Amino acid sequence: MSHSHSFSWRPRKFRAFATNEYYANRDEYDQVGQTQPHSFEQYVRQNIDLLKEKYRLTHLKRDRIL
């Protein structure tokens, strides 16, 4: 019997990481007085490889420290 529904409370770490990166990028646009030209979904779709690489590097460093 599968209990995959039992773990739905766990945070979705990559999604949270991608969201933080999106808002950091959005803040950069705001600092120079521009609006961000794309939505979250577009941002992730266009930058998925970079986001995955940054996520892996961030979590590798954190896991080595712990």
Domain that holds residue 44: 35-66
For 11-63, the pLDDT digits (tens) are 688 999 999 999 999 999 999 999 888 999 999 999 999 999 999 998 876 65
Question: What's the domain count of the chain?
Answer: 1
Can you read off the two tokens belonging to residue 33?
């007085």
- Does residue 43 belong to any structural domain of this protein? yes
pTM (two decimals):
0.71
- Does residue 19 belong to any structural domain of this protein? no
- Does residue 62 belong to any structural domain of this protein? yes
- Residue 7, pLDDT > 70, answer no
Does 30 or 9 have the greater pLDDT score?
A: 30
- Does residue 66 belong to any structural domain of this protein? yes
DSSP state at residue 33 = T
Q: Kindly give, in sequence order, each residue whose CB lies less than 8 Å from that of residue 36, ignoring residues fewer than 6 positions away.
A: 25, 26, 29, 43
- Does residue 3 belong to any structural domain of this protein? no
- Does residue 29 belong to any structural domain of this protein? no
- Does residue 2 belong to any structural domain of this protein? no
